Structure 1
Amino acid sequence: MWEEAARGLRARGHRVLTPDQRGFGGTPPTDQSPSLDLVADDLARELDRQGIGAVALAGCSMGGYTAMAFLRRHPHRVHALALLAARSTADTAESAGQRRRFADMVLDDSSRGRIVAGTAPSLLGATTRARQPRLLARVTDLALAARPRSVAWAQRAIAARTDSTAALRAADVPAVVVIGDEDELVSLDEARRTAAALPRGRLVTLPGVGHLAPLEAPEATLEILVDLLAHTETAGAGPC
């Protein structure tokens, strides 16, 4: 998801890490109970391994929820924050139930292909689906290629997350909340409330973009992050 933005940031002299979340990419799955706190602590250990203290942290969708979990558990290690397509509040009981039902269906060999193919389009905006059909095919293929066990674990971890509004209110760091105006999973009002919780937060709305701005609008995403880093350096946190 972050390949193009990472490449652009590195070209501007920034050090960029794009670690796989547990169970995805090269990271093995886990038998521990689903929790984004575990994923956040994985990131803290990776930063320790790399000899990195504080970072400018960006996350999209589940990555945004992980970023908020990291902020709750390791607030001193975040000196700038970008949240894309993520709400600060916990799931409602209805939404959490839907996620858990989705997790059950993903683990069912008879329903997995149908349910993934049916839900993948909602990850992209209508404009993207119409203008970039190959991107829709790519997202669908990536979703189908992911380990079912890991997808189910991730959905259950997101469903179990806590409200992060208080952590955002305590985060006095440069911050940006990004929402596509065609996001079918997180509303503009939810994004506004998330941005309002951040003392130094601002909201950026991307026209014609859905839930996955780093894939749908990589150049715009890059410029948003470049601007965030400029504000971070102006504030005295140093380059990252």
Structure 2
Amino acid sequence: MTELPLVLLHAFPLDARMWNAVREPLASHLRVITPDQRGLGRSPLPESDREPSLEDAARDVVVLLDRLELDRVVLGGCSMGGYLAMAVLRLAPERVGGLVLVDTKAAPDTPEAAQSRLDVAERVGREGTGTWLAEANLPNLLAESTRTRRPELVETVREIIESQPPAGISWTALALRTRPDSLALLRESRVPTLVIVGEEDPITPVEAASEMAEAVDGATLVVLPEAGHLTPLEDPAGVVEAILSWYPATHEK
């Protein structure tokens, strides 16, 4: 038996540094790959006349797997990373040997959420990211108890957000607002699936996580107490334990 590598896709508006606290504990058991997504962190934003789309970001992931000569992986993602993992499953299901869906949901944006993302893209175009993007997102990204008791973690998240390239933030916001509903995709999926959610997640709440877990036959749902939307930062030990307890041992094809 050979464990498939684990690819972890980060949340918006962050980069792969959000996995720092879980990367080493997981890497002592598995091969772990944590790429920055296009236009964020250290990943460039390709020049293109195409409308921003998660399908293009999914192609980036497939290109990465090709470059690393990985036929199949377990694909994990937090929030936007979960949306992207589902986009890869839609685009190239043969490359996905398992799913780890962390603080994410299968539903598309509501009209209000889609408008909010458009507003973000337009404001970033006018003002850059500055300090406003972090201030607008922090209350929803971290549980109230986290923000109160762990100011150092709040500052870490703030620094990651404020370091993001404005063009990448704008592209991603526009790509996210047009993503399709993925619940039917999950229902048709036959891959082992783990769903992790913070008990206090206001963006993708426990109900949304339960809906995904119920859609996939045999899926495992783990709810982490006293954590919000960024469980890999707020409860890294809980995330690591959940992944290692579940991780499917499979033969690589």
Structure 1 length-normalised TM: 0.92
Provide closer, same or farther for how the CA distance between residues 111 and 3 of structure 1 changes in structure 2, counting only shifts above 3 A: closer
Please state whether the residue corresponding to 1:108 is helix, strand or coil.
helix
**Which residue of the other structure, out of 145, 157, 166, is the alignment partner of 1:139?**
157
Distance (Å, rounded) in 2 between the aligned partners of 1:121 and 1:93: 22
AA aligned to 2:43 is: T
AA aligned to 2:155 is: A
- CA deviation after TM superposition for structure 1 residue 115, in Å: 3.9
**Which residue of the other structure, out of 9, 12, 31, is the alignment partner of 1:15?**
31
Please state whether the residue corresponding to 2:32 is helix, strand or coil.
coil
Deviations 1:108-150 (A, max 9, x none): 2288422432322321111111121111111111111101111
In structure 1, stretches of 5+ residues that fail to align are none
Alignment of structure 1 residues 1-240 onto 2, 5 Å: 1-12=18-29, 14-32=30-48, 33-109=51-127, 112-229=130-247, 232-233=248-249, 237-238=250-251
Deviates more, 1:190-199 or 1:116-125: 116-125
Structure number with the higher helix fraction is 1
Please state whether the residue corresponding to 1:156 is helix, strand or coil.
helix
Distance (Å, rounded) in 1 between the aligned partners of 2:105 and 2:98: 17
> CA contact under 8 A between 2:198 and 2:229: conserved in structure 1?
yes
Structure 1 segments, 4+ long, off by >3 Å, are none
> CA contact under 8 A between 1:173 and 1:200: conserved in structure 2?
no
AA aligned to 2:234 is: E
Provide closer, same or farther for how the CA distance between residues 77 and 116 of structure 1 changes in structure 2, counting only shifts above 3 A: same
> CA contact under 8 A between 1:122 and 1:184: conserved in structure 2?
yes
Distance (Å, rounded) in 1 between the aligned partners of 2:83 and 2:147: 25
> CA contact under 8 A between 2:37 and 2:57: conserved in structure 1?
yes
AA aligned to 1:25 is: G
AA aligned to 1:60 is: C
AA aligned to 2:251 is: G
- CA deviation after TM superposition for structure 1 residue 73, in Å: 0.7
C-alpha RMSD over aligned residues: 1.7
Distance (Å, rounded) in 2 between the aligned partners of 1:108 and 1:183: 30
AA aligned to 1:5 is: V
